[in-house]
Structure 1
């Protein structure tokens, strides 16, 4: 099924759906790819005495639930930076994730380890997540955290947290975006508290921004 507001593109002969909620769905495999969810980032900031909003873990899990239900995905693949730091192992964050996992016990979960995961440590075993290193290749697609990694297939990656600036004479708007090139796609950060990095695409790259409700091609 194709959720409202999404855009379908082709990469390596495969149909991929760019979702307005900052993820990619691969219909043939019923696989939902999520980049840079950064569970526990807010907790890490609070551990340093920096006041930041609470509830980001629940917000991320609710967003995941909505996408799983909308797409019918049976496999969620995290493209690195599942956990932000060791502070993500605090009881409250872990309890929320474990409660979610119990509700979604039939779901296949895979994590391609990213740079933050190496510092934060692996997720709790009770989450039953398959842990792999990049590149992790399925058919013609290679799933990575770092977009510039040499891989055998078309790369889907995160790490950059790309945003694109739409500007007029009077105003400017920064929107999360997908960056599509001939050999790779960079996904926007899925996490609700992760920030973004302005990208300047090359001549052979396409940009699709998302407003949260719809994906639009802007370049």
Structure 2
């Protein structure tokens, strides 16, 4: 157990990082929280298409970020793509909630590595004060990406896949979000409240750490 509650401390690329049960990574040396696939506005996008899905996921995501910042000393949040889900994420209610949250954290540095959904949705409003970059964005020893299959100069931290891992017994099975930690890259679970997941088959050399919601556990 690392120095952050509900986390597991590991070393990758010579750096200590914490895998948090809240499906994020914390880099203590840089006081950086790394968040993959938050997908703001996804529920609004579904409702715009006539699909009856719950409201309040934007607020849920923002409250979750606040809880993480109460848990860790965070000066910088790095979003690994798919910050906005689609153009419907620019809806006034979604934008107002995000702007109110941003105004409550004026000194917090925010960086977004553009993902595939961001390219369709367009960049977030300038008033949110987010530094926009393309992948891979390198800050040694890491290269921050959305897609995990890029050639990168550093150890890649990526998202996109929304990885989950199936834990099964003879009588039951449970699919949990997971971190996939390989020799040259790590895939983070999706953070968003309404994003779903994809069951992965680990590759050679991959370690898998699942989040139960309360703790992070090594499973293979």
Match of 1:201 in 2: 202
Match of 1:96 in 2: 97
Q: Deviations over 1:16-63 (max 9, x none)?
A: 100000000000000100000000000000000000000000000000
> Is the contact between residue 7 and residue 216 of structure 2 (CA under 8 Å) also seen in structure 1?
yes
Map 1:100-119 to 2 at 5 A.
100-119=101-120
Structure 1 distance, partners of 2:128, 2:137, is: 20
Distance apart, 1:5 and its partner CA = 2.0
> Is the contact between residue 82 and residue 118 of structure 2 (CA under 8 Å) also seen in structure 1?
yes
Structure 1 distance, partners of 2:3, 2:110, is: 21
Structure 2 distance, partners of 1:163, 1:55, is: 24
> Is the contact between residue 2 and residue 71 of structure 1 (CA under 8 Å) also seen in structure 2?
no
> Is the contact between residue 5 and residue 71 of structure 2 (CA under 8 Å) also seen in structure 1?
no
Structure 1 distance, partners of 2:52, 2:198, is: 23
Structure 2 distance, partners of 1:160, 1:202, is: 14
**SS in structure 2 at match of 1:66:** helix
Question: Does residue 126 in structure 1 map to residue 127 in structure 2?
Answer: yes
Structure 2 distance, partners of 1:145, 1:202, is: 19
Match of 1:40 in 2: 41
Structure 1 distance, partners of 2:169, 2:147, is: 32
Map 1:59-208 to 2 at 5 A.
59-208=60-209
Match of 2:212 in 1: 211
Distance apart, 1:141 and its partner CA = 0.4
> Is the contact between residue 44 and residue 88 of structure 1 (CA under 8 Å) also seen in structure 2?
yes
Distance apart, 1:69 and its partner CA = 1.6
How many residues were matched structurally?
219
> Is the contact between residue 8 and residue 16 of structure 1 (CA under 8 Å) also seen in structure 2?
yes
5+ residue gaps, structure 1, are none
Q: Deviations over 1:109-166 (max 9, x none)?
A: 0000000000000000000000000000001100000000110000000000000000
**SS in structure 1 at match of 2:117:** helix
Match of 1:24 in 2: 25
Distance apart, 1:2 and its partner CA = 2.9
Structure 2 distance, partners of 1:123, 1:165, is: 35
**Where has structure 1 moved over 4 Å in runs of 4 or more?**
none
RMSD, aligned CA: 0.8
Distance apart, 1:4 and its partner CA = 1.8
**Length-normalised TM-score, structure 1:** 0.99
**Length-normalised TM-score, structure 2:** 0.98
Structure 2 distance, partners of 1:188, 1:203, is: 19
5+ residue gaps, structure 2, are none
